Structure 1
Amino acid sequence: RLTPGGGPRRPQRPRATPAGGSRITPKRVILTIVALLAGWIALSIVLFMISAQTSKGVSSEAEDALAGGGSLLTGSTILVLGSDARDVPGGEGETGRADSMMLLRVGFGNVRRLSILRDSLTTIPGQTGEQKINGAYAFGGAPLLIETLEGFLGNGLEVNHLVEVNFNNFPKLIDSLGGVLIDNRTELKAPFFDSAVVAPGDCAPGGGGENGEQPSEGFRMKEGECRLDGAQALTYARIRQNLADPGEDDADRAARQQNVLSGIRSQVLSPVTLLRLPWIAWESPRAVRTDLKGPGLATLFIDLVTGGTGKTRVLEPSGSVGTGLVISEEEKAAAVEELLGGS
């Protein structure tokens, strides 16, 4: 063919296409990303379910002590328990005192929390006189603690499910998240206890010692934000005595534990967490022992993340007897009503 000027038309070269004959378009890129993301999430779900099925659960005696029933979708009461016991290799673990106790009311996309002060005085079945409620775990493990707690609070409260925090594996969950950011409300100076570690050097009052390391006399942490790894966060949550503020009590300790839970929630909701999702999915079930199976445990974790950051109610003592705390019947009734959604 001739061009308008009379010359021959130059033949056009065919457009180059990628190998396979298809062009790279924005649509193809988006579809590829979506497919990879779906595969990444599917892998995480599979790892979570495998981990949940192979993780150690609670004892059959503890399951028998639970009220049963209660749907995580419509409303269920869950006892979250941390103890100072440690697993013994090849055994069932030691029995220690309950280190922390919190009741969760989960349902309708909402989570309400009630922290039980471990020094609260009550009657423990099979024991004489009033004793601190956390002693029930030492006398009879989770089954006796469940029975004691239901009798202590009364007002129709029943525990439907049990979640025991595994102190051996809990730090691994936080490490899989890349640590947690803690908003510490007051300076901390605590003596060492079993499994305690020092806080990061840049979190210590005055900036830490040489090379950013903390002195070895105890756990010291300045007021303000600080990023902690798993072992450090566990130490922070378990501190019982703050030498920087001798007036602190169990309510302050409960507030520190709530700080850790809030830090975990914030970290889970961070976009960066998506890159760590398979590791988080694997470690999450191993951080606890529970009667909940894979789907139920997944529902609980989702509720805890999406159910808001509502304030945790702490039982208010009306007085004390020695080192024990007296909780009035009026306070118990009001706390249970609020937990169950009556107010």
Structure 2
Amino acid sequence: MADRPEYKVYRSRRGGGLLRPSGSLEGLRDRGSDRKRTQPGSGRITPGRVLKWLVLALIGWVVLSFVLFMVSAQLKGGVSDEAQSALGGGGNLFSGATILVLGSDERKGNSIDESQSGPGRADSILLVRAQLGGVRKLSIPRDSAAVIPGTGGAPQKINAAFAIGGPSLMIKTVEGFLGNGLEIDHLVQVDFANFPAFIDSMGGITVKNRSRICAPPFDDFFKGFNLRKGQRDLNGKRALGFARVRKNPCAPAENDLDRAARQQEVLNGIRGQLLSPSTFLRLPLVSWKAPRTIETDMKGPGLLALAGDIGTGGAGKTRVLQPSSFDGNLEYTESEKASAVKELLGR
């Protein structure tokens, strides 16, 4: 029988081409290198992967902050039934709602200023008209003369309404004082006890002090409160003191309007700090602390909507009601009130 001719067997591979003989060591090496080429980027750190994980981490951080905010808002107590019934409640934070923001100086028995003994009064009175993309604000000086319902008709300082009948009477008094169809939809009452902790959770705020302050002792500032003129960084306690200073011998001509301006500086400082990149690193802590600083009829979604409105359109100036008389209680013309309400409501 004739000898068969010698020949070699080759195997084809995907994509065409030939491999080396199956028994060849070089062929095995080639096949191993082919497998590596079929898995590009396997086990390697690429810019795309880094970006992907960074985006996922940012989303997780925001979701955690959102959950903490909603839980904290649910745990925080709301307003009284009397205050709830006094509210209009018809405003929508997207189409437009009027919110009364009160800061009360409720005494806790540790005040060293005897003039601040007795029941608490509204320390700051601010009306906020919030809607998507725009926020307008009107500050009412606490010494404004107003008729308080149920007290006999004689004008008193408007902040006394809080001491007499709490938030519900304050709502009715402000609506009657300004008139011109104003209706308050929501109430936010700032809890000064938790306010410093909220400021500290953001890392403090920056304010612009327009005149030197050398206030005598008040509240828990047992050595008084001193602050130089200019831009200043404040922690939570000092931010609260800056907003509440009433007597300032270093600027004796100051009045309640200057006090309202300082309170607006604090609000601007909070807004600026909330929108700063550094606060994003503290976002879960800030989200937990923020709802615990206030008492309100609004729940978590409403507070988020309000925060969004302030974030997108809350940088505008606050109008302060301008009195026609500075003798004792502040008095206003009806035209000033009508103009202020018209501007607030955007009519």
Alpha-carbon distance in structure 1 between the residues aligned to 2:188 and 2:180: 22
Count how many residue pairs are aligned between Structure 1 and Structure 2: 311
What RMSD over aligned residues (CA atoms) do the two structures have, in Å? 2.4
Q: For residue 334 of structure 2, what is the aligned residue in structure 1?
A: 329
Q: For residue 192 of structure 1, what is the aligned residue in structure 2?
A: 217
The answer as to 2:120 corresponding to 1:96 is yes
1:189-216 superposed Cα distances (whole Å, 9 cap, x missing partner): 111211337xxxxxxxxxxxxxxxxxx3
Alpha-carbon distance in structure 2 between the residues aligned to 1:31 and 1:311: 40
Q: For residue 124 of structure 1, what is the aligned residue in structure 2?
A: 148
How far apart are residue 87 of structure 1 and its match?
6.8
The answer as to 2:205 corresponding to 1:180 is yes
Q: For residue 132 of structure 2, what is the aligned residue in structure 1?
A: 108
How far apart are residue 127 of structure 1 and its match?
0.9
SS for the counterpart of 1:242 is coil
- Deviates further, 308-317 or 156-165: 308-317
How far apart are residue 95 of structure 1 and its match?
4.7
Q: For residue 341 of structure 1, what is the aligned residue in structure 2?
A: 346
- Deviates further, 120-129 or 150-159: 120-129
How far apart are residue 327 of structure 1 and its match?
1.1
The answer as to 2:85 corresponding to 1:64 is yes
Alpha-carbon distance in structure 1 between the residues aligned to 2:227 and 2:179: 39
The answer as to 2:264 corresponding to 1:239 is no
SS for the counterpart of 1:78 is strand
Which of 264, 268, 288 is 1:262 aligned to? 268
The answer as to 2:233 corresponding to 1:227 is yes
Which of 157, 171, 179 is 1:146 aligned to? 171
Which of 72, 75, 94 is 1:54 aligned to? 75
Q: For residue 28 of structure 1, what is the aligned residue in structure 2?
A: 49
Alpha-carbon distance in structure 1 between the residues aligned to 2:160 and 2:77: 24
Tell me if structure 2 keeps the 8 A contact 1:86–1:167: no
The answer as to 2:281 corresponding to 1:275 is yes
SS for the counterpart of 1:298 is helix
Alpha-carbon distance in structure 2 between the residues aligned to 1:87 and 1:30: 52
* Displaced runs of 4 or more, over 3 A: 11-16
How far apart are residue 34 of structure 1 and its match?
0.5
Alpha-carbon distance in structure 2 between the residues aligned to 1:196 and 1:235: 8
- Deviates further, 65-74 or 122-131: 122-131
1:212-234 superposed Cα distances (whole Å, 9 cap, x missing partner): xxxx3x21111111111001100
SS for the counterpart of 2:330 is strand
1:96-145 superposed Cα distances (whole Å, 9 cap, x missing partner): 11100000000131000000011111111111311111111110000001
Alpha-carbon distance in structure 2 between the residues aligned to 1:87 and 1:193: 13
Partner AA of 1:315 in structure 2? L
Unaligned stretches of 5+ residues in structure 1: 3-7, 89-93, 198-215
Question: TM-score, normalised on structure 1?
Answer: 0.85
Q: For residue 102 of structure 2, what is the aligned residue in structure 1?
A: 81
Alpha-carbon distance in structure 1 between the residues aligned to 2:242 and 2:345: 30
Question: TM-score, normalised on structure 2?
Answer: 0.85
Q: For residue 5 of structure 2, what is the aligned residue in structure 1?
A: none
Alpha-carbon distance in structure 1 between the residues aligned to 2:342 and 2:65: 38
How far apart are residue 83 of structure 1 and its match?
0.6
1:233-289 superposed Cα distances (whole Å, 9 cap, x missing partner): 000000011111111011100110111111111111111111100000000100110
SS for the counterpart of 1:319 is coil
Partner AA of 2:341 in structure 1? V
How far apart are residue 305 of structure 1 and its match?
2.0
Q: In the superposition, relative to structure 1, how do residues 73 and 33 fare at CA in structure 2: closer, same or farther (>3 Å)? A: same
Indicate the structure (1 or 2) with the bigger Cα radius of gyration. 2
Q: In the superposition, relative to structure 1, how do residues 87 and 21 fare at CA in structure 2: closer, same or farther (>3 Å)? A: farther
Partner AA of 1:295 in structure 2? P
Partner AA of 1:105 in structure 2? R
Alpha-carbon distance in structure 2 between the residues aligned to 1:26 and 1:41: 23
Alpha-carbon distance in structure 1 between the residues aligned to 2:108 and 2:283: 27
Unaligned stretches of 5+ residues in structure 2: 1-18, 21-25, 110-117
How far apart are residue 24 of structure 1 and its match?
1.3
Partner AA of 2:182 in structure 1? L
Alpha-carbon distance in structure 2 between the residues aligned to 1:290 and 1:320: 33
How far apart are residue 86 of structure 1 and its match?
4.8
How far apart are residue 328 of structure 1 and its match?
1.0
Alpha-carbon distance in structure 1 between the residues aligned to 2:190 and 2:196: 11
Tell me if structure 2 keeps the 8 A contact 1:95–1:141: no
